Each structure stands twice: as structure tokens, then as C-alpha cells.
Amino acid sequence: MEKKFGVYICKGCGIKEAMDVEKVAGAAKKVQNYKFHDALCSPEGVQLIKDDMAKEGVNTVIIAACSPRVKYEEFDFPGALVERVNIREFVAWTMEPNTDATNDAAYDYLNMGIVRTQKGDLPEPNILPDLSSTILVIGGGIAGMTAALSAADAGQKVVLVEKDAQLGGIVNKLYKKIPTGSYINKPLVVDTDIAKTVSEVESNPNIKVYKSTTVSKTDGQPGLYDVTLSNGETMKIGAIVMASGWKPYDASKLDYLGYGKMKNVVTNFELEEIAKKNNGKLLRPSDGKPAMKVAFVQCAGQRDPNHLPYCSSMCCATSLKQAQYVRQNEDALAMIFYKDIRTPGRTELYYKEAQNNPGVMLTKADVTGISEAVNGNLYVEMENTLFGMKTGEKVKVEADLVVLATGMVPTTRGPQEYADGLTKAAGAGDEAKKNYLDQTPKPDYILNLGYRQGPEIPTLEGASGFADSNFICFQYETRRTGIYAAGGVHQPMNMAEAQEDGAGAAFKAIQAIDHVARGVAVHPRAWDVTFPDPMLIKCTACKRCTEECPFGAIDEDEKGIPFYKINRCRRCGTCMGACPERIVSFKDYSVDIVGSMLKAIDVPDDEDTFRIACLVCENDSYPALDTAAISRKKIDPSVRFVSMRCLGGMNLVWVADALSKGIDGMLLLGCKFGENYQCHFVKGSELANTRFSKVSETLNRLQLESERVQLMQIAINEYDKLPDMINEFVEKVKEIGPNPFKSM
Amino acid sequence: MSEATVIKPDLQFVNEIIKGGGESLKKCYQCATCSVVCNVTPEGNPFPRKEMVLAQWGQKDKLIASPDVWLCHQCSDCTAYCPRGAKPGEVLNAIRKQSIKHVAMVPFLAKVATDAKLLPILFAIPMVLFYAILVVLGNGNFSAPRAEGNIMAYHKFVPVPVIDTVFILTAIFAAASAFVGIKRLWSGMKAQAGELKSTGSLGGDIISSVTTILAHSKFADCNVNRMRQWGHMLLFYSFIGLAVVTTWAIVYLYGFELLGIKPFGPFHFGESPYPNSDPVKILALISSIAFAAGVVILLLNRFAKAGKAGMGSYFDWIFLLIVVGVGATGMLSWALRLADMSAGYLVYYFHLVFIWSLFAYAPYSKFAHLFYRTTAMVFARHSGRDKK
């Protein structure tokens, strides 16, 4: 494409009051064609650009105005390569007006924008052929069935695979459920009605149900999954909802609570079975007599680092529900011993109603053990109750049946533990690894992915095996694009939440199918038609990209050469930062483009004028800068911001590029990493930090102080602190002194 | 390792509290906001949070002989701030009712005094008693006997010695009931507290407790029900005033004859009715006005604060009804006598019924708080539970 440039400089929103726009336009002289407008986003301003495109054939539009995070509808010109130069937030709103430094900054930004379009190309979507739009739902419990029905109702073809001989999952085992809707003056337990949902699923023409079936292989990528079922059938699948559910925690590990040793100690699930079998009567196991004093021990394993370190969120409400089973006999007592009653969301209202029954008695307590009383009865032994005892005073309560409120273990936990064990064994040497493989029983895999990074979804650190996402921003996303977790495998949740979760995951699956059909990224750059296009001829098969890709988008061929599965890719550019050969590029984003932009920053010779290059993550730090600008916080005019898709794309060569050119310091602004990470791409800033640890080598080679380059972690809401952090860094660099390469 | 205390839940006791004015008991979820906002509770192990959970578990023994249950003045600050509408103030009141029942000398009377269903029996006892007396006296038809000068005189209706006999016996019964109740409550509290960490003398603790009561300083710590301090104070002192009047009347009546005192100055000795200029009459009038004002303040306050503090239970209202009944029939019979209307005799009959109810049921109704709260305050001081 022959590029015909058009540079449009907006004078509105305080821009012309802050700078000499004629001087700034000097940067556009090399591309000849530039125009000013008082309000470029007005219909007249937009028309000006459209007219130039139509009449003069302008196809490369550089708009020097506001942040690209605003006015994107106005400045949408299909068919043109559009570059937004942010001289409003980055210059006019954050720098002293009408100084040489301010004019220089705006000039640099425009220059960098022009360089970017000179180096870049108009992207075209990469739409793969023969895409499937069928959704595979793994798991026929309440979450999976809801997902299947939601997708089917939206017109999608669905394949539902259930491991058991019948649909229904855990709900099949329940006697009654907590009602939805208002609890006030309503029955507090109602029939589960699961059979109704099962028959809706089984009779839906859009849903094909496979029972007693599992998934034995999943190859390919969104839109093009090749799925093999355990019965040998193969099929093309567009996207996957993983609703494989959870299992109750193995209560035999809770021997301190008497489980397995005392007959009348049962789990909450066993109580459901007892109630179901006896039509609501709670007959205790030892002698079949109706239980009159039922003790519920909450957090039986949950919130205990030795068992389940998390709260299962539904067990308190479940015990309150089961207390109503007990109270069907008005002389019977339900006694609930809790660490804290945790009834999130609407279940708090259930707690209120369920508690409002004279025979449902609750107290906080640390249950220390269960001991035998007479006639098969038991003592629940505890400390730290609410009864106003002296500290350390022990209390016991007699019960004829003890119910352990055990928690949820996701079906992904087994595979995850296996994988963790393997990693650990592999770290101890080849022999240990071989022993591990030989001796450890294989877990029940769910997806059996043919991905280079492993057969299942990698879970997050601290997620205890749940296929959880970054819960702050992306509810259903797993680290495998096109595969969405729903229900108890996703997070601990109750039945109503699992239904909501199933519907949500189904719609995410539909979105994935829609996006790959249009050749745009699925998530989170949901508009992005660019894709990584590596120059494989130069690849050394070092495997860094295949290992570092947060989404397992890159497989390897027999020779170890990366093989991009584009529909799995989220376009973060982590591979671009990882590649030592610098061969990974996007049409508008590459090592060369960013490097050339950095080199386009004008570095004056004089020793008192500093230049700081700042690479900014577009997800948190860039919006934080925009917000700081809205509050008119001042930022040192020596700073030049360059937007990054993710700090994970940071290539060390840019440090050398910038500093060898005389730039005095370099700042990398990325998201928070670690346990409460906020990175859109899981660990981009963390990877940048790892690579960054090697930066001192580069600097030593250049004989520069390593303090000239720094990485900072910023959350989007820290906009108020950010300008000061940047300004302090600038001051620090000024203390170190000018870059000696400046005058070379 | 010390042996664990066994907690035995008592569903029946829970139901008794719920039915006896503690309907909101089960709403409590132990956040302890109540104990934080309470200004009356001692600082260590404060009420009413723990009383709420003990009541939810039916821990009868711990509650019916608990000084804390009685230290509560039902300011209702707790009720106003409770995030769940559990109304700890009302629940503690219901627990106090149970406490009265369980220390009562004649449990049947406690039942009569506190159970709405037994309201007819409550009034039937004095009505039958006094009607029988009237029948014996020949006034069963409520005819209007007149004194000399054809003036209305209630002592002609029911002679003073008859009244005195009945009420002195009733007072003795009430005093015995109170004594037994106080003794049972005290030993119950003592048993629960274990060893007493007594510091001062019992006499001193009694004096300082009574001083606190006279000054109404505990009421001053209330926030939501601040006005109740004045209402209760007026009522309290009006009762003292009327007690003085009653004693004074006895002195007038018998002092004249037995001691041979002659009337002097404005002081009238001898039989009623007394002239309106007599100091005892003036004191009676002032007390009556204070009484009426106190009742009005308490009633208005209760209605005004109903949203925050709750409307109270039968237990409160029956006591208030008797108190108001005493005052209203008393004043009305006085007014009817001055107006020379013979309907006054019927009103006077009811006046006697109400007064008897007030006396006889005192240790069994809400009036018992006079004895038991005082006992609890003395115990709290004596045991070191309350330093104030």
C-alpha cells in the first residue's frame, strides 16, 4: 500500500492555549500534508479527514489531539491506518503551558506518531477457514446444563458431554434446595426440580447429549477444535464451556472430627442422601432412630491450610437449609457451630430467615474434636464460643448426629496437583521425574488438551486448583482462549450462582466464536485485527515464546519451531518481548516500531535538558495517566510516554536503543504482579521484571548506572500517586547526571 | 486439662422468651453492636450480646439469676442500633419476666401477673375479694352511704379498719414475696458468680446503690430513651410521695386516738376526708400531679420511640395499666366525691381493686424491678461486677 499521509492537529480542549501548534506541526513537515482544526472531533473536523481520504487519497491518518482512549468512534476511519497522538492528556493538560519544553514534548509525540505509521502497515484480519460454531459443554450439572440451554436458546449448536450415566450432577443427590426469589414468609426448602431442567436439555433440538462419556482429546484452537470423545467420536468445535464441577472434600482426612470412626458423624452430602432416602426423615446411621439433636460443624476442612485453604461459600447456607430438614420435627434441634457464618449475596437474607426459628441455634466456636457419649450420641467439643465463658474454657454439647459441613474441591484440582508434583519432581532431576511418572496415578483429565503447555487449564497461583480467572476484570476467562470455566470448577459457589455462571460462560463462548469468525482478537483487545507474524526463517527454536506465552497459543513442530495457533492468541505481544531474535511483529507493533519511536525522541545536546522514555502498559498505567491529566496533575516535561500492549512485550533491545541515543533514563510502568496480580495477560509485568533483571548487563556494557532504568507497578486507581512517582524518578536521573552518550 | 462445661440447649425456655415479649430474639447474629452502644453495662464481658446468645440456646440457669439481666435499664440504645432488628432491650425485658417467675414465692401469681391469657383472673381475684367484703358490709348494691352532714365519705362505704386490715395483710404478703424473691435471686447470682470478690461492706454497697437509684443516674446514661429519665423520676418520687401520704394518714387516724395528739395549725388529725388545706392533702395532690405527668411522659416517650425501641410487651403494659388505673380511679373518686356524685363509690371500688393489684402483684409483675434491680445493683457492686 502506497502511504499517503495526512496529519491533523486539533487545537481544542486547551491544546492551542498550551503550545505553539505551528512549532509542533514542524514535526509533520517531512510528510508535507498537515492541517489544523479547532475541534477535530466535531462533525466538521471529522468531515475534513473524510474529505481528504476521499478526494486526496489520504490513507494514513495521524491525529494529534486527545487520548486514543476517548473519541474512538469519531476517529474511526475504516480502510486507513490511523494513529492517535495524545498531545492533550500527555502535554496540554500535564505540562506548563507555552514553554519550550512543552512545545518540544508535543513535537516529539507527533514525530513518534508519524514514525510509527511510517514503520507500520494497515492490518488485515486473519480469518481461518472452515470455522465451527458448535459449543462443547463439558459437564451436565446445573452449570453445564444452564450453559447448554443458554447457548441453544441463542441459536447455537451445543454438544453436552456428561461423565455420569445421567444429567443433573450434584443436584441429583440433594433432597431439597434453597428457593430462589424472596425468602420472607415462603418455604425455606423447595424441591430441586432438576428433572425438569434435565428434560429441557434432553429435548432441546440444538443440544446433543452424550452421557457416560468424557473428552479424550482436544486439539486445535477456538473455531477449530478437534475434539475426540471417549466413545471414539470426533467433532469440530468452536468454543468450550468447562463445567466439570466439583467433588466434596474427602472427609476421611478429617479424623479429628471423628469421621469414619463414629457412625453418627456424617458429611453434609451424606445428610442429603439420608434425607432423600427416607423422604425427609433424618435417621441416624447407627440405629436408624430419628435424629433429635443435630450438630453442624461448619468449615469442616475449609479455611484450614491443612485441608482447603479457602471458603466454599455455600456450606453455611447449606447447613442453614439442612437445619430446616431437622426442624420439620418441631421437637428437634439444629445446632450450628461456625467460624463465621458466610452467606454471600442474597443468601444473607436466607440466613436471616433460616435463623429465625427457635430450634435453629448458632454459635461461633472453634470445634476441637468429637467424642463419644452414651447410646451412640456424641459430644462436640469446642473452645472460644460466644457463651461468655472465660478465655480457654472448654465447652461441649451433646448431639445424636453430627454433620460435617465439608467444602468443594474442583475437578481441576487433581490434574493441577499432578502437574505441580511433576514440575517439582522434574526440578529434582530426570530420575525423580521418571519415578514420579511411573508411580503417581494419572488424574482424571477433563480437557486433554494437545497444547504444548499441558493437557489442562493452568490454574492461577493461590486459586487452589479452581479454573479461576482474573476475577477483577474477566469473570469467565481461563488461560486458554475459547475455553470458559463455569460453576463449581470455576469458583466455589452455590446452585443459583452456578446457573448464572453457566449462562455467562455460554455467552463468552458465543463471543469467542463470533470474534474468530471476524478475525479479531477474542479478548481483551476485542477490536484488534492484528496478529503476531513471526519471521520463522530466523527462528533458532529457543522455545522462549512457546514457554512464555501466557495463553499457550504457540505449539511447536517436531523441530521445536513455534507454531502459532492464532485464534488462541490474545495479541499481548509477550512473545515479541521474549524473542531474542526479535522476529515477532504485528503490523502496527513490533520491536522495530517501538525502537524507532524511541529513537525519534529528540535529544538536545545541552547537559541541562533531560529526556526520559517511559514505556506504559495500556491497560492500567495509560488510563491512570489519562486520569491524572484530567485532574491536571503536572508531569515533568522531559518524559515521553510510549504505549505498550503489555509490559510482557518489553524487549531489552529498546533499553540499548534509547540509552545509546542519549536518553537519560527509562521507566517501565506495568501492572501489579504477584498474588493479587492485575495484569490483563496474567504475568506480563512480572515477565518484564524478570527480563529486566538482566538489564544491568546491558547497562554495564554501555558503562551506565543501572538506576537509570526502573520498573514500577501501578494499579489503575493509583493515578493520584503516579505523577509524583514519575517526577521523583526524573529527579533521581537528574541527580545521576546527563547520559554521557548525549553528545556523541 | 479442665473438664469441659456441658451446654444443654433448652428449646422450651427459648419458646417461653419468644412468646413472652422476645419475638425478635432469633434475629440476633451476635455482632455485638448492642454491647458496644450500651452505656449502662459494666465494661468487662458486657451485656446484652451474651444474654442474646444464651437466650437463643435456652440457657435458663445462666439467665434467670444473672445480675446483668437486671442491671439493664432498657434504655433501648441497643435496640435502636441493632442492625438486624433483634431488639435486645425487649428480649432482656422478657428474660427479666422469666427471672421474676423463677424466683417467685407463689409462681401461680407470677403467671397471673405476666400472662395475657390470665388477665381476667388477675383482676377477678381483687374484684371478688372486695365485692365479698362489700356484701358482708351490706354495701353489695353499691348504695351510697353518707357521713354526717350528708356528705359523701368512702370510709362509710368501706370502713378504714377493714381497708387497713386487708392492705396490711396484703403488704405483709407482698413483703414476704419480695423477701423470698430477693433471697432466691441473690443466692442464684452468688452460685453463678462462684466466689465473690467482695471489696466493700454490704451496707455501703446498699447505700451507694440506693443513692444511684434516687439520683436516677443510670437513666442519664441512656441516649435513645433519654426522656424516660424524667418520666420515671416523676413516677418514682410520686410513689414515694403517695407512700408518705398513706403513712401520714395512718398517723392521723390512729395518732389522734392512740397517742392523743390534738389537731394543730393546718394539720388535721382524725378521720378522712381531710380539708384541701391540709399539708397531707397538698402532698397527695402534688404527688398525684407528678404521677400523672410521669405517666404521660412515659407513654408519649414509648409511642415516640416505638420505632427505635419497640412497643413493649404485655408485661410492660399490664403494669402501666395498673399504675394508671390506681391514679385515674384515685383522682376520679376524689373528684366525684367533691362533685357529690354517687358513682364515686363504684370508682372507689375499682380504686381498691387497682391498689390491691399494685401491692399484691408487686413482686410478681414488672413492679418487681423495684426489688430485683436494686438487688442486682447491690450484688454487682458487692461482687465487683460493677465498679460504678
- pLDDT tens per residue across span A11-69: 999 999 999 999 999 998 877 789 999 999 999 999 999 999 999 999 999 999 999 99
Beta bridge partners of B5: A395
CA distance B92 to B34: 12
Residue A371, SS3 per DSSP: strand
* Sheet of strand A639-644: strand arrangement: A639-644, A612-617, A665-670, A709-713
Q: Do A398 and B6 touch (CB under 8 A)?
A: yes
Q: Would the pLDDT of B1 be above 60?
A: no
**Per-residue pLDDT at B198:** 66
Beta bridge partners of A81: A60
pLDDT digits (tens, 9 = 90+) for A532-591: 999 999 999 999 999 999 999 999 998 889 999 999 999 999 999 999 999 999 999 999
Mean pLDDT, rounded, for B327-348: 88
If pLDDT is split at 50, 70 and 90, which confidence band does A135 have? very high
If pLDDT is split at 50, 70 and 90, which confidence band does A440 have? very high
Pairing of strands B5-7, A234-237: unpaired
Does the interface predicted TM-score (ipTM) exceed 0.85? Answer: yes
Q: Determine the residue among A296, A335, A386 to mutate to test chain B binding: the one whose Cβ has the most chain B Cβ atoms within 10 Å.
A: A386
Which of A103-117, A136-150, A468-482, B126-140 is least confident? A468-482
Which of A131-145, A206-220, A569-583, B308-322 is least confident? B308-322
Q: Would the pLDDT of A618 be above 50?
A: yes
- CA closest to B86 among chain A residues: A356
**Per-residue pLDDT at B334:** 85
Helix (H) or strand (E) holding A217: strand A215-219
pLDDT digits (tens, 9 = 90+) for A61-85: 999 999 999 999 999 999 999 999 9
A&B contacts, CB < 8 Å: 75
**Per-residue pLDDT at A471:** 56
Which of A406-420, B88-102, B174-188, B330-344 is least confident? B330-344
CB-based contact A597:A642 (threshold 8 Å): yes
CA distance A351 to chain B (A): 10
**Per-residue pLDDT at B153:** 79
**Per-residue pLDDT at A702:** 79
Residue A250 is which amino acid?
A: D
pLDDT digits (tens, 9 = 90+) for A333-350: 999 999 999 999 999 999
- CA closest to B6 among chain A residues: A396
CB-based contact B41:B71 (threshold 8 Å): yes
Q: Would the pLDDT of A470 be above 70?
A: no
CB-based contact B49:B90 (threshold 8 Å): no
**Per-residue pLDDT at A605:** 87
Three-class SS of A192-232: CCHHHHHHHHHHCCCEEEECCCCEEEEECCCCCEEEEECCC
A79 in reach of chain B (CB within 8 A): no
Pairing of strands A246-248, A265-267: unpaired
Which of A185-199, B68-82, B127-141, B188-202 is least confident? B188-202
**Per-residue pLDDT at B109:** 92
B155 in reach of chain A (CB within 8 A): no
Q: Would the pLDDT of A389 be above 70?
A: no
**Per-residue pLDDT at A472:** 63
- Which residues of B are less than 8 Å from A358 in CB distance? 11, 14-15, 18, 26
CA distance B188 to B178: 15
Q: Determine the residue among B5, B41, B45 to mutate to test chain A binding: the one whose Cβ has the most chain A Cβ atoms within 10 Å.
A: B5
Q: Would the pLDDT of B220 be above 80?
A: yes
Q: Do A358 and B15 touch (CB under 8 A)?
A: yes
Closest CA to A399 of A378, A368, A384: A378
Q: Would the pLDDT of B311 be above 80?
A: no
Does the N-terminal peptide bond of residue A78 adopt cis geometry, omega within 30 degrees of 0? Answer: no
Q: Would the pLDDT of B140 be above 60?
A: yes
CA distance B201 to B207: 10
Beta bridge partners of B264: B267
Closest CA to A244 of A457, A421, A420: A457
- Residue A542, class by beta-carbon neighbours within 10 Å (0-12 exposed, 13-18 middle, 19+ buried)? middle
Mean pLDDT, rounded, for B101-123: 91
Q: Would the pLDDT of A435 be above 70?
A: yes
If pLDDT is split at 50, 70 and 90, which confidence band does B271 have? low
Q: Determine the residue among A335, A348, A350, A362 to mutate to test chain B binding: the one whose Cβ has the most chain B Cβ atoms within 10 Å.
A: A362
CA distance B244 to A148: 85
Phi first, then psi, for residue A267 (nearest 5°) are: -90, 170
Q: What is the mean pLDDT of chain B?
A: 88
Contact residues for A327 (Cβ-Cβ < 8 A; gap 6+): A334, A357, A359, A360
Which of A655-659, A694-698, B54-58, B119-123 is least confident? A694-698
Contact residues for A314 (Cβ-Cβ < 8 A; gap 6+): A347, A408, A492, A493, A494, A495
**Per-residue pLDDT at B280:** 86
CA distance A347 to A314: 9
All three cell numbers of A155: 441459536
A335 in reach of chain B (CB within 8 A): yes
- Which residues of A are less than 8 Å from B84 in CB distance? 352
Q: pTM (2 decimals)?
A: 0.87
